[in-house]
Amino acid sequence: MLDISGHLPEEVFAFFIVFTRLGAMIMMLPGLGESAVPARVRLMLALSISLIIFTLVRSSLPSIPASPYMLGILIITEVLVGSLIGLTIKIVMSALHTAGAIIAMQTGLAAAQAFDPVQGAQSALMATFLTLIGTVLIFAMNLHHLMIEAMLDSYSLFPVGQGLNIDDFAALMARNVASSFLLGVQIASPFIVYALIFNIGLGILARLMPQLQVFFVAMPLNIVMGLVIMAMVISSAMIWFADYMEKTIGSFMV
């Protein structure tokens, strides 16, 4: 009979090292790790994906460290790697939240608030709408498959036990935050231009007809025009977002 008792601790250690990184990553990824997804579902998803990837990267995993101190350092490093990769991808979703907040301000819908499951807090209704569409788009365009592939490729980019270059990750995070904010402003740019022209026109009208209650006339028109512009640009904006999300995920793939 084959004796596996000597190999079992090594295999268990290797699996849980993989689970440490991937579990932290999945908890941060958009779509897969949202707070709206039940915790048990997220846990089972993390265990399932970890088991699959464990079989593919087993040969590259280190042995059990000789001291508890080194084991603790290894676990903390893997959690940090997984969290930073997941957070870098999740930040892309903030572009839609930024765009939605700007659109809501420009169209007079900023007072309409709803719970945003992606942000985990109350947000402008338009921001919640865009982030929910973005989450659906991730699954409709199979971008979650790229996320799983990036999990596998992360072991080639960041081998287990070789530490983490915090400076490079900080620079990557800063660029990603700036790019995501820029994307959000670009998505909302048609509404910024519209609001500028609309408000200038209202100002001129108010000067020409002081007796006219401009606010009460303009508010319904502003909302209607905002919804019309949204219907015209939303498809292009979401394709633009999906392309940017794909490029961000691709940066963690070999």
Q: How confident is the model at residue 8 (pLDDT cuts 50, 70, 90)?
A: confident
Residue type for position 162:
Q
Q: How confident is the model at residue 1 (pLDDT cuts 50, 70, 90)?
A: very low
pLDDT of residue 209: 79
Q: How confident is the model at residue 114 (pLDDT cuts 50, 70, 90)?
A: low
Across residues 129-153, what is the average pLDDT? 88
pLDDT of residue 246: 87
Nearest to 251 by CA among 189, 138, 181, 171: 171
* Entry pTM: 0.81
Residue 115 has pLDDT above 50, yes or no: yes
pLDDT digits (tens, 9 = 90+) for 31-44: 787 777 788 888 89
Q: How confident is the model at residue 193 (pLDDT cuts 50, 70, 90)?
A: very high
The pair of three-digit structure tokens given for residue 32, joined into one six-digit string: 């897969």
CA atoms within 13 A on the CB side of 215: 1
The answer to whether 99 and 187 are in contact (CB under 8 A) is: yes
Nearest to 60 by CA among 159, 185, 162, 192: 159
